[in-house]
Structure 1
């Protein structure tokens, strides 16, 4: 097999897998997986792609991740593994990135505490700048300092302070496991505020008491929640399907996937500038079909393609070579667009893409293809009528 390439398994004219050859060449499980891979409609030249990133493009971040998992750095690997649940929970929190990065630095002991600075021979005195009682270790700063203990008490986290038998890493992991998402969010914000208060004392000579820091944390989180409510309120008001310009049509697409049975379905709905459904289409996939193909096959002068997959829309709009796992299909789309009428790709939220989403999911449940010209199912028509109600001018 060393002298054979994948294209030997694909019919050059049919652009389909040679099923008998695949089944004869590979074991049954592998053959089934290969035959489930959809093929692009046109062959494409090979190119180099970076396997450490989903985009196929090299990034320092992905190289860093690979190095962290290297056996040459066992401590880094152990830390990454032990903190895995904590990191997963941390990145899901509704907090500014600066807070999440600070917590990440705390886990890796990357903060410029007095003990760390002394270890690097930058200072002589490692005493805590807030209490002066003990050396400013990471453990003292976030667990033992009287100011910190007062903050935890105000936030009603006294129960997390009674476990001095654990080292700092074990303590952080234990706290993450004990707290729900709401309280873990407060905890992470408190870690950030404690470090910020410490820096204010060192660099600005600003002294804050435990109650003042505790109230700051509560107020800060309330402001974040208030901004989120306003933002989502505006989104809810603005997120409606909009009519395409005169003589243009809008094609909304969506997909659905059943991971258990390894099948997928797509749904497409086409509407004119009055919101009238011209065509709706759904299909169970064994190959790759495209909303663009529907636009190419009809004589509409201008076609707007809308979908709620931001990554796909970005790839279709970007004319640089795509190196991701779906690059062949993106290239197919670009070739169709370049040979045909005017196309425009736009991203919309899931709430705007309701009809296409419903068509795809219902098709997946039905498990059979259907083609509907100039009419949609009754439910889709009703949804279309609801969306077609224009707002007052």
Structure 2
């Protein structure tokens, strides 16, 4: 989608989809992201594409042939990308000098002291929590998650299973979601539900498995995520202190069949559920059909 008109049905003149923006549970300051990529990360390729579509240049508001030639020659030069980007920034007066930062009102106060204070506070809080729980019985589980998404209704379902160290199912759960923007967001919502389930069960240590490599990688990171699911990743990262130990791991889809079936059945039936020590009858029957179609070799 590039224009608001892309969201309008030309025949009925009605909105054919919603702009679905997930919101973080915790309040945070605004920050800048790169709009040329869904990941929010800058790349030379995306900058060049935006430049070709742009109608603004450093000197005036009309793209002229010589400017296109200049940038085309720049990107075709066999020099390190870092130098290309620097030249590009200079041509647009984007070098972050104090003068430019002041003009753009991007100067920020020194936050190192504030960061140290906040870090010390949270480290102290975590240490007190660990000391308080050191006599508690340690519980360690694995949580698998997967999502099923319907793009026509913008609805998704989360499938979750919790197993103990012996492989026994402790909990199976499905949750329905509405106003979900994409399958990418559906996986992130489900990852967040997996973390919340662990918290609600009072788990001290857990290993969480999902088959979306991108979502798992973002959950593993401690840096601020700037992608379209950044607010959901932020909520996942904010929940980590509730556990003494927590890890996120990628697993192939072939090893994640049960939770996929849980999510698929929930979306089909339009009903979520929570079940201790087992799975629903519908899920059990579907798993049996899958085993019959894929016999052991």
Partner of 1:163: none
Partner of 1:39: 23
Q: Deviations over 1:232-273 (max 9, x none)?
A: xxxxxxxxxxxxxx9521111111110111111111111112
Partner of 2:117: none
Match of 1:309 among 212, 216, 230: 212
Match of 2:161 among 246, 257, 269: 269
- SS for the counterpart of 1:48 is coil
- Determine which structure has the larger helix proportion and give its number: 1
Partner of 1:205: none
Q: For the Cα contact (< 8 Å) 2:141–2:206, is it kept in 1? A: yes
Q: Deviations over 1:306-343 (max 9, x none)?
A: 00111111111111111111111111111111233311
Match of 2:175 among 263, 283, 288: 283
Pairs within 5 Å for 1:279-358: 279-286=171-178, 288=189, 290-358=193-261
Count residues with an aligned counterpart.
189
Higher relative contact order (CA 8 A, sep 6+): 2
Q: For the Cα contact (< 8 Å) 2:265–2:283, is it kept in 1? A: no
- SS for the counterpart of 2:266 is helix
Q: Supply the distance in 2 between the matched residues of 1:348 and 1:324 (Cα, whole angstroms).
A: 22
| CA shift in 2, pair 1:56/1:37, >3 Å | closer
- SS for the counterpart of 2:224 is coil
Q: For the Cα contact (< 8 Å) 1:254–1:308, is it kept in 2? A: yes
Q: Supply the distance in 1 between the matched residues of 2:54 and 2:246 (Cα, whole angstroms).
A: 46
Q: How many angstroms does 1:284 deviate by? A: 1.0
Give the unaligned 5+ runs of structure 1. Answer: 1-26, 78-108, 111-245, 387-393
Q: For the Cα contact (< 8 Å) 1:282–1:359, is it kept in 2? A: yes
Partner of 1:91: none
Q: Supply the distance in 2 between the matched residues of 1:369 and 1:307 (Cα, whole angstroms).
A: 20
Q: How many angstroms does 1:59 deviate by? A: 1.4
Q: Supply the distance in 2 between the matched residues of 1:316 and 1:58 (Cα, whole angstroms).
A: 20
Q: Supply the distance in 2 between the matched residues of 1:284 and 1:250 (Cα, whole angstroms).
A: 22
Q: How many angstroms does 1:37 deviate by? A: 4.2
User: Bigger radius of gyration, 1 or 2?
Assistant: 1
Q: How many angstroms does 1:28 deviate by? A: 7.9
Q: Please, what TM-score do these two structures have when normalized by structure 1?
A: 0.43
Q: Deviations over 1:81-137 (max 9, x none)?
A: xxxxxxxxxxxxxxxxxxxxxxxxxxxx99xxxxxxxxxxxxxxxxxxxxxxxxxxx
- Determine which structure has the larger strand proportion and give its number: 2
Q: How many angstroms does 1:354 deviate by? A: 0.7
